[in-house]
A and B are shown apart, each in its own frame.
Chain A
Amino acid sequence: MRQQDFEATHQQEWRALRDLLDDLDRASFKRKLSKEDHARLPRLYRDACNHYALARGRHYSPQLSEQLHNLITRGHRRLYQRRGGASWRLIHFVVADFPCTLRQHAGYFWLALALFLIPALTLGTLSYQDPEMIYSVMADEQVAQMESMYDPANRTPGRSPSRSSETNFYMFGFYIKNNIGIGFRTFAGGILGGIGTLFFLIFNGLVLGSVSGHLTQLGYSETFWTFVSGHGSFELTAIVICGAAGLMLGHAVIAPGRLTRTEALKGQASIALKLVMGAAVMLLAAAFVEAFWSSMRLDAMIKYLVAGFLWLLVIAHLTLGGRAS
């Protein structure tokens, strides 16, 4: 068959396919064609694939081939587009899917926890014993600022005196931007063979450890521990989970096993993403607690009780969430 006859024979089908694809590109309420028309997509698309192969094989003009190629590219995109999995529905995800995924990959979590906790405990002990120790981790001004934040004379603990007048909501926004950003970076750093994640975990461990040790040794323990114990439940756990997600990426890059590196990375990244998103929700909760609860001046006993409750909540959620009853 010659090109002209070929085009004349199939023109109608190509136009039908093009109209159908145009219609599907519109927002659903603006569509003009019916469901029955849409059901013709696979048929029309496969015919067009066939015609494209014929046009190539019979050496029709390259422009005709390109026209058909564009048509089937659009058809392929429409027909084979991925649909969101059921597991991405928010509540189900937070309550069940996220803790299940974490437990399935608990090894990464324990490793990340160790990477965070060992430097924190080491520096914490050292800073508690030696008041000069903290200056090897932080700059002088930072130490001075941090000391003033937790000075029992400060009316709003956890905030520097210059910030104390700012509303809780401002701090809420600040904690969201800052802390979730740290979580995301801890994850992203994993793709550099895990080095970025290692850096963030160890660095945060060193800083938090030395600050806690230093302030306790100064006798500021009540202002400090009543402030951090509540939101720490969500925040520290979430940062460690982001670290675990980063380590998964790093593992795929360093030791892909039987897969190619890119395949291993793709597989691990889609699992790790669940951990990061779950951790982001936890960091959101942490920002809320830190902004509106932690800064309240209440009896230390109440603060510790609530903190204990929050820690239990986090642990119960991660260990029990999503288990079949």
Chain B
Amino acid sequence: MNRLDTARSYETPEGILLELKTAGPVARACAWAIDALIRSGLYIAIALTLAWFGGLGFGVMLIFFFLIEWFYPVIFEVRNGGMTPGKKMMGVQVVHDDGTPVSWPSSIVRNLVRAADFLPLLYGFGLVAMLVNKDFKRLGDLAAGTLVIYREKGVQRDPPPPATPVQPPADLGVDDQETLLDFAERSSHLSRERNEELATILSDLTGARGEVGVARLHGYANWLAGRRSEA
């Protein structure tokens, strides 16, 4: 996780490094395109409804157009946990540089400066800005101090499959121990063949291949997790 090059970390007052995984131009462009579709739908719906009311209707329509043009992202970002509908579908969200939810002033700044990002055409300056800084910030993000990051997904964890705990060889380093635990907790999500294939790579350690190797690794993992009694 911490070796991913697009991750950025923020140290909380508690001394914990929070990992924020910044979203790149492609995910953000897709989110923008989805929002653009929704927006054009809104424009059409509003125009069709208000066209019935003559001059007054057109006036109201233009006011709505103005609001949608400038404040559609702001409303969603502040009221909906940093996500416009497009961002929600792409699994990204806007946060401050310190990972806290985006506030009204920051959201307004980043969406007003969007006008400059859009120049000279189709987010030209915005794209250049995103590519020259390490956090993929467009100009609006730089001015507002915001980031677009991937939302954290829920982790599905299963305990290591029950097996008779076996003490692993004594020369196993802490990183290797961590890897064994990781393997055991993920193994219920992997196919049997893949499990066996991975276990075979470690045949030097376990002295066994295939199914027996998998069982032995699970045994080590159970022991590392702290189980001592028979399964």
Contact = CB atoms under 8 A, between A and B. Distances in A.
B155 interface: yes
Given A4-B227, A5-B226, A59 B174 contact: yes
A49 B116 CA distance: 40
Nearest to A177: B66
A3 interface: yes
B56 to A, nearest CB: 5
B40 interface: no
Given A169-B59, A170-B55, A67 B101 contact: no
What's the dominant secondary structure at chain A's contact region?
helix
B56 A167 contact: yes
Contacts of A196: 116, 119
B143 A266 contact: yes
Interface in B158-191: 159, 174-175, 177-178, 181-182, 184-186
A176 B63 contact: yes
A265 B139 CA distance: 10
A270 B109 contact: yes
A77 B95 contact: yes
Interface stretch (B10-18, B194-202, B211-219): B10-18
Given A2-B226, A189-B115, A189-B116, A49 B63 contact: no
A70 B59 contact: no
A81 B58 CA distance: 40
A173 B157 contact: no
B139 A82 contact: no
A80 interface: yes
B224 interface: yes
B145 A266 contact: yes
Interface in A187-244: 187-192, 196
B185 A63 contact: yes
Interface in B97-115: 98-101, 103-106, 108-109, 112-115
Interface string B106-139: 1011001111100100000100000000000001
B19 interface: yes
B143 A269 contact: yes
A173 B224 contact: no
A53 B17 CA distance: 9
Interface in A55-93: 59-64, 66-67, 69-70, 72-73, 76-77, 80-82, 84, 88
A61 B178 contact: yes
B96 interface: yes
B112 A276 contact: yes
Given A67-B157, A77-B99, A177 B63 contact: yes
Contacts of B159: 4
Contacts of B108: 273, 277
Contacts of B98: 80
Contact of B105 (A3, A69, A270): A270
A171 B56 CA distance: 9
A84 B114 contact: no
B1 interface: yes
27 contacts: A2-B226, A61-B182, A62-B181, A62-B182, A63-B157, A64-B157, A73-B152, A76-B16, A77-B100, A81-B100, A84-B103, A88-B105, A166-B55, A167-B59, A170-B59, A173-B59, A174-B59, A184-B112, A187-B112, A188-B112, A191-B143, A192-B125, A262-B142, A262-B145, A265-B142, A265-B143, A269-B109
Given A3-B225, A191-B116, 15 more contacts: A2-B224, A59-B175, A60-B181, A61-B184, A61-B185, A62-B181, A76-B12, A173-B66, A176-B62, A177-B62, A188-B116, A191-B143, A266-B142, A266-B144, A270-B105
Interface of B: 1, 12-16, 18-19, 54-56, 58-63, 65-66, 69-70, 95-96, 98-101, 103-106, 108-109, 112-116, 119, 125, 139, 142-145, 152, 154-155, 157, 159, 174-175, 177-178, 181-182, 184-186, 224-227
Interface of A: 1-6, 46, 49-50, 52-53, 59-64, 66-67, 69-70, 72-73, 76-77, 80-82, 84, 88, 166-167, 169-174, 176-177, 180-181, 184-185, 187-192, 196, 249, 262, 265-266, 269-270, 273, 276-277
